[in-house]
Amino acid sequence: MKYRAFGRHSNQVSEIGYGSWGIGGGPAWSGTEDPLSQKCLLRAFELGVNFFDTALVYGNGHSESLLGEFAQKVGRHHILIATKIPPKNMEWPARPEVTLSDTFDKNHIRLCTEKSLKHLQSDYIDVQQLHVWQDSWLSQDEWKEELTKLKEEGKIRFVGVSINSHNPESAIQLVQSRIIDSIQLIYNIFDPRARDILFQHCQENGIAVIARVPLDEGGLSGKITKDTTFPEGDFRSLYFKDHRTTEVEERVHRLRNVMRGRVHSVPELALRFCLSHPQVTTVIPGMRKIEHVEVNVSASAAGPLSDDLLQELKDHAWIRNFYPSRQDIQRTLSVT
């Protein structure tokens, strides 16, 4: 495992981190088993992973609780845990007209932080993130002051923001402000726009970049075909609804042609693509099986992709947004 500095700070984090949405279970993810999740977390740690990303909303706190149990086993000081405060109105993404009082007033920020600390069985959170964002909130002080207080109290170490999906434009001013320590965003072969819109600003201001959805919720796993189905209630049944699996299969087939023996698998290609950009601090694929952990972690040792392969991958960008709103999920799948 290779490590990179966490933005302008000296803390070293593993190039491959652990995305913990899937292990939270609940209605959104089928087939999750806690004993296996704990084995996956431990195997990742054994292979050098020291950065684990979760959120209060993942499984209504269950993902955090699993990480809390895991941290007790391996030693809290050996790992960095990033979590997220959900918007008070529980709406993803944040609509332009939504105000700060609807999402992140000071009481909500503190209440959620205290809940997360309890789930994590920890006195501190390494990276506390806001789970949605609008740059229009930047001029308001309440959220900044409360997070600063939590820092001064030792309850959080760094402040981050997880920005709206497929919308890197929404956080340019935030990154330029240097108020935050890290930004979490979508960055993958299909949607590389953050590279051209935000990465230079992150470099100039020492902001760590946490790249989420590197495997496009499974689209870049190489396993989805036109015949793939997901159980009713599984988040992916909406993400890959209608004829989307057919198009995913076709686009991944084209990627395999590009690989031409230079890369062993589509997941390796996807993860090494992310890590080929020096501004990416860590990549956080979801991992719910031991083999997923071992394959994904190996991408760090393989190193960056060649310049010619990166150039070829530019032709495979596929800008779209398959994410249903949380309201759509609730209506369709009865998620609470």
Q: Residues 15-52: pLDDT tens digits? A: 999 999 999 987 677 778 999 999 999 999 999 999 99
Q: Tell me: pLDDT of 243 over 70.
A: yes
pLDDT on residue 27? 65
Mean pLDDT computed over 211-228? 95
Composition of the chain by helix, strand, coil, percent to 5 = 45, 15, 40
Give 332's pLDDT tier (boundaries 50, 70, 90): very low
Counting every residue, how long is the chain? 336
pLDDT at 326 over 90: no
Domain count, the chain: 1
Q: Mean pLDDT for the chain?
A: 93
pLDDT of residue 198: 97
pLDDT tens-digit map of 142-189:
999 999 999 999 999 999 999 999 999 999 999 999 999 999 999 999
pLDDT of residue 234: 81
State the CATH number of the domain containing residue 151. Answer: 3.20.20.100
Q: Is the dihedral of CA 105, 24, 166, 283 positive or negative?
A: positive
Tell me the mean pLDDT in the region 290-308.
96
Q: What is the pTM for the complete model shown?
A: 0.95
Lowest model confidence (mean pLDDT) among 126-140, 178-192, 220-234, 282-296: 220-234
Cite the beta strand spans of the chain per DSSP E: 3-5, 12-14, 18-19, 51-53, 80-85, 125-130, 156-162, 182-186, 208-212, 282-283
Domain span at residue 290 reads 3-333
pLDDT of residue 335: 39
- Long-range contacts formed by 42-46: CB under 8 A, 24+ apart: 42/70, 42/73, 42/74, 43/290, 43/293, 43/294, 44/18, 44/287, 44/293, 44/297, 45/70, 45/74, 45/78, 45/79
- Whether pLDDT at 118 is above 60: yes
Give CA–CA dist 99/122, Å, rounded.
31
Average pLDDT in the 71-77 region? 97
| Percent of residues, the chain, with pLDDT higher than 90 | 86
Residue-level pLDDT at 333: 42
Task: Check residues 154 and 229 and name the one with the higher pLDDT.
Answer: 154
Q: What is the pLDDT of residue 325?
A: 65
Question: How many percent of the chain have pLDDT more than 70?
Answer: 96
